Amino acid sequence: MKLYKIKKSKIDNIGLYANKDIKDRTKIIEYKGKIITKKQVEDDPKFDNEKAIYLFNINKKYDLDGDFKYNTARLINHSCDPNCEVYGTGLKVWVYAIRNIKKGEELTYDYGFGYDEHYKDFPCKCGSKKCVGYIVREGSRWRIKVQK
């Protein structure tokens, strides 16, 4: 049985939800895509935006472009208080639980957007107590709080 299912989300259109209780550190779903070189990323205008949210750093030489329909994991929404994390092992990228997740909870991770002058273009509707209202990575959220 799959650990997740696709469902309507309050955060953004649709999302992935836990289909059963998931223990901390469980590999939930592979973040599928195409391995490309950093050079290809530099040369392709598709990745011009710093916030190419489906692009993951694999190592010094390679990135993974997950911007494909078959990559179900791309439906996972951002949250300011996420229950998952995405990281690579070898040339594969996986979504892992970072705490115990209850059946029916929406799966989320921190999109890791940097703080810049465009941050207001990416509002966050995660609804968590920690929400700062915009999609900005955890380490930079204090900047937004200061501005309030």
For binding to Zn ion (CB under 5 A), which residues are involved? 80, 124, 126, 131
Complex with Zn ion: residue 80 or 101, whichever CB lies closer: 80
Asked if 115 and 106 touch (Cβ cutoff 8 Å), the reply is no
Q: Which DSSP state fits 72?
A: G
Tell me how far apart the terminal alpha carbons of the chain are, to the nearest angstrom.
45
- The SS3 of residue 108 is strand
Written as six digits, the tokens of 56 are 């993951």
CA 123 to chain centre: 15
**Min dist. Cβ of residue 16 to Zn ion (A):** 17
Complex with Zn ion: residue 56 or 111, whichever CB lies closer: 111
Complex with Zn ion: residue 2 or 139, whichever CB lies closer: 139
**Min dist. Cβ of residue 82 to Zn ion (A):** 9
**Min dist. Cβ of residue 89 to Zn ion (A):** 28
